[in-house]
Amino acid sequence: MKLNTLFVASVCAAALFASCNPKTATENQLKYTHTSLADGDAFHFFQVVGGKLVFEADYAASVEKSASSDKDKQLAAKVKEVYGAILPVFDSLATANQVDFPIKGAAKFTEVAADSTHAATAHTADYAQHVQHETAVVKDLFERLSHNTNVGLRNFAAENLEKIAEIYTLAGGKAEAHAHH
């Protein structure tokens, strides 16, 4: 009789400990509630920057091919290089923090959208102004993320902030200026 009680108690304890696995809890959290592991600031960063990185990298590739001025081509090449290098790491961080990437509902680059909304390929000032504005937003969010409590995100922001600032200054922004909207 005591052996049966001991066996049932051990089976119940094993089931209880197996259900308390943090990895299982994390997987179930995402599976059933669609919540992420990123805090509010980090989630906002993923949503805004995630959409801009993909759009701007594609836009830069188009401008690099079709621009008539060397300044546009040079700026577009830099944007494509920096954002293209950031995207794989960004994707890994989004996956680790359980944020859907690519961002659902983010603007997709098309040649028609570029011509109708940002006639930027026609004049250097237009494309440079567009890059300066969009990069200012990205730069501001990278600066905010560099103070996040998540060490991985904080390190990612610190490693890439200088590259983003370089694009901003190349597009005509002032290095000490904050993002303009």
Number of C-beta neighbours around residue 6 at 10 A: 10
Percent of the chain with pLDDT over 90: 32
Contact 34, 99 (CB under 8 A): no
Q: What is the pLDDT of residue 177?
A: 47
Q: Mean pLDDT, the chain, as a whole number?
A: 80
- 142: confidence class by pLDDT, cuts 50, 70, 90: very high
Q: What is the pLDDT of residue 64?
A: 87
Rounded-to-integer distance, Cα 89 and Cα 73, Å: 25
Query: Which has the closest alpha carbon to 158: 174, 142, 178?
Result: 142
**Which run of H or E residues covers position 172?**
none
Does residue 53 have a pLDDT over 70? Answer: yes
Buried b (16+ CB within 10 A) or exposed e, 12-26: eeeeeeeeeeeeeee
